Amino acid sequence: MSEHACTVVDLGGTTLRIARYDADTGAVTDIRRTPTDGMARHPGAPVPELQNRVAEQLASLAAEAVRRHRSGALAVAFAGPVTADGRIVTAPTVWGARGEPLPLRLLLEERLGVPVVVVNDLTAAVWRYVDTHGDQAFCLITVSSGIGTKIYRAGEVLLDPEGHGGELGHWTCDPSPQAPLCDCGGRGHLGGIASGRGTLAAARRAAQADPAGYARSYLGLAAPDAELLDNRVLVAAVRAADTFATAVLREGIAHLASAINSVFTSIGVRRYVLMGGFALAVGPRYAELLTEELERLGCFGLSPQDIRRMIVLGEPDDDHGLIGAGRLLTARAAARQAVTVT
C-alpha cells in the first residue's frame, strides 16, 4: 500500500471516472472512464433500481482500482448534494427524482475495507483552486449539463451538515408556469435555463419563434433543422460572434449574473471561477458576456474595474473533481495527523 497514493472518483450523470492521485505531485494518472449506470442508460427505471445500479457499479470499479493502485483510501466526488457523513441526498442527473438518502460512504467502506470520503463534486473541485487563490474567498461555478456552485471561505466549503448549500442551479429564476423544466422536475430553475442543456433548448425555442432569423444565422446554416442542433454547433456559433446564438446565450447569462449579484451582495464574495464543459468550450467569450451583464446590473459598492476582475476561467480540462478529491483527502489526512501528533 502506498502512503502517497489514493484512488479518486468523479461520478457524474453521464460518465464515471476513476483515477490514481499522487499526493507528492498532485497529479492524476490511470484515468479510466465508463458510462454511469444511471438514468441516462436506463431511462424510466425506478429510482431505487438506479441507486442500486450506480452503487454496485461504483463499488465494483473502486474495489478493482484500490487494488490496482495499492491505495489506502478512496475519495468520491458525486454529482448531487451530500451530507457531512457521506449520504447522497438526491441526484437529479444520476437518478432523477428524489429517492431515499443513499448511505454511499458506509456502503463503500463495508465493501472496500478502506477509509472513504464522499463529497459533492463541486465541493471536491473547490480544493483544486484553494492554493491558487490563497486565503481569498471564492465561488466555483460549473456550467455544463446543469449548473452548480460552491463557496470557499476561511478554510472550508460553506455547507450545512445535511448538504444544503451550493445548489444555485436549483434557484427558481423564472416563476412562470411555462418556465423550462429542470432535471430535478422543478420549473424555472437556473440550471434548466442557463446550463449548456438549457441554452440548447432555448436556441431551439428561439428558432421556432424566429425561423427567418435562425435560417440566416450560423446555427441555421450548420443545422437547418433546429431539432438537430447540438451544443458543438451552438458553441462554435457563439465563438464566431453569431448574433442569433449570442442573443440566446445572453438570456441565460442574464439569470446567472443576477444569481452572482445576489451572492456578492449577501456575503461579499468577489471572485468567481468558471468551469464546466459548456462554459469552458465557449471560453473567454463566456466570461466576457457574463462580466458585461454584471456591469450592466452593477454590484453594490464596486467600481466597473472591480467588477471586471470578478470572473475568471478555470483550468481547461475535466479533472477538477479528481484532483480536488485527492487534495481534499490529503488535506484531511494531514489534519488528522496533526491532531494525533499534538
pLDDT of the chain, 342 residues: tens digit per residue: 345 789 999 999 889 999 999 988 889 999 999 999 999 899 999 999 999 999 999 999 999 999 999 999 999 999 888 999 999 998 988 998 788 999 999 999 999 999 999 999 999 999 999 877 567 899 999 998 889 899 999 888 998 888 788 889 999 999 999 999 987 789 999 999 999 999 999 999 999 999 999 999 999 999 999 999 999 999 999 999 999 999 999 999 999 999 999 999 999 999 999 999 999 999 999 999 999 999 999 999 999 999 999 999 999 988 999 999 999 998 877 666 555 555
Question: Kind and range of the H or E element at 74?
Answer: strand 74-78
What integer pLDDT is reported at residue 150 of this predicted model? 94
Q: In terms of CATH architecture, what is 133-313?
A: 2-Layer Sandwich (3.30)
> Within 10 Å of residue 100's Cβ, how many Cβ atoms?
12
What integer pLDDT is reported at residue 4 of this predicted model? 76
Query: Which amino acid type is present at position 194?
Result: A
Using CA atoms, how far apart are residues 244 and 118, in angstroms rounded to an integer? 42
Task: Please state the CATH superfamily assignment of the domain spanning residues 5-127+318-341 in this structure.
Answer: ATPase, nucleotide binding domain (3.30.420.40)
> Within 10 Å of residue 158's Cβ, how many Cβ atoms?
17
Q: Can you give the residue ranges of every domain in the chain?
A: 5-127+318-341, 133-313
Collect all residues with Cβ–Cβ distance below 8 Å to 152 and sequence separation of at least 6: 126, 129, 130, 133, 137, 138, 139, 140, 158
Give which of 324, 12, 13, 313 is closest to 152, Cα–Cα. Answer: 324
What integer pLDDT is reported at residue 228 of this predicted model? 95
DSSP 8-state secondary structure symbol assigned to residue 165: S
Q: Among all chains, which residue has been given the C-alpha cell 445500479? A: 53
| DSSP string computed for 276-330 | SHHHHHHTHHHHHHHHHHHHHH--TT--HHHHHTSEEE--SSS-HHHHHHHHHHH
Bridging pattern class, strands 27-35 and 15-22: antiparallel
- Is residue 15 within 8 A of residue 38, CB to CB? The reply is no
Residues facing residue 156 across a β-bridge: 153
Using CA atoms, how far apart are residues 10 and 299, in angstroms rounded to an integer? 34
Helices (H), the chain: 47-69, 104-112, 121-133, 190-194, 196-209, 211-216, 218-222, 231-239, 243-267, 277-282, 284-297, 304-308, 320-341
Q: Among all chains, which residue has been given the C-alpha cell 491558487? A: 132
CA 17: distance to chain centroid? 14
Q: How far from each other are the two terminal CA atoms of the chain, in whole angstroms? A: 26
What integer pLDDT is reported at residue 1 of this predicted model? 39
HSE-up (13 A, CA, CB side) for residue 279: 29
| DSSP string computed for 77-98 | EESS-B-TTS-B---TTTT-S-
Collect all residues with Cβ–Cβ distance below 8 Å to 264 and sequence separation of at least 6: 270, 299, 300, 302, 310
- Is residue 13 within 8 A of residue 95, CB to CB? The reply is no
Whether 133-313 and 5-127+318-341 are alike in CATH topology: the answer is yes
- Is residue 59 within 8 A of residue 111, CB to CB? The reply is yes
Using CA atoms, how far apart are residues 96 and 80, in angstroms rounded to an integer? 10
Cell of 135: 486565503
What integer pLDDT is reported at residue 166 of this predicted model? 82
Global pTM? 0.85
